[in-house]
Amino acid sequence: MRILVTYDVSTETPAGRKRLRKVALVCLAFGQRVQRSVFECTLTATQLADFEHRLIQAINEQEDSLRIYRLREDRDQYLKTYGVTHDIDFDAPLIV
């Protein structure tokens, strides 16, 4: 399943900046960054449960915000991009 993750971590304190780095590292372990605080992931149900658990452990629920969206359509159906993009389409053919 395709997942879109967005987060807003308070960085007013050193602890907040540490949480921000931790959340980003968790997201990088499961998907790819498409904007600064936005990641796209393709996960199984088991991976999603692990991912959510790690993210919830990384944030402070009184200061931070985390949103996880399940995308039900193929990427071509919901995605329009404008400007610079750095994401990789892992479903596209690999040319070496």
Tokens representing 17 are 């900046």
Does residue 14 carry a pLDDT above 70? Answer: yes
Give residue limits of the domains in the chain. 2-73
Select the CATH number that applies to the domain covering 2-73 from these four: 3.40.1390.20, 3.90.1150.10, 3.20.20.20, 3.30.70.240.
3.30.70.240
- Average pLDDT over the chain reads 89
DSSP 90: T
> pLDDT for 18-62, tens place per residue?
999 999 999 999 999 999 999 999 999 999 999 999 999 999 999
pLDDT (0 to 100) of residue 96: 67
The pLDDT of residue 63 is above 80: yes
Q: How far is CA 86 from CA 35, 53, 57, 61, 73, in A?
A: 9, 27, 28, 30, 21
DSSP string over 26-60? HHHHHEEEEETTEEEEE--HHHHHHHHHHHHHHS-
CB of 55 closer than 8 Å to CB of 23: yes
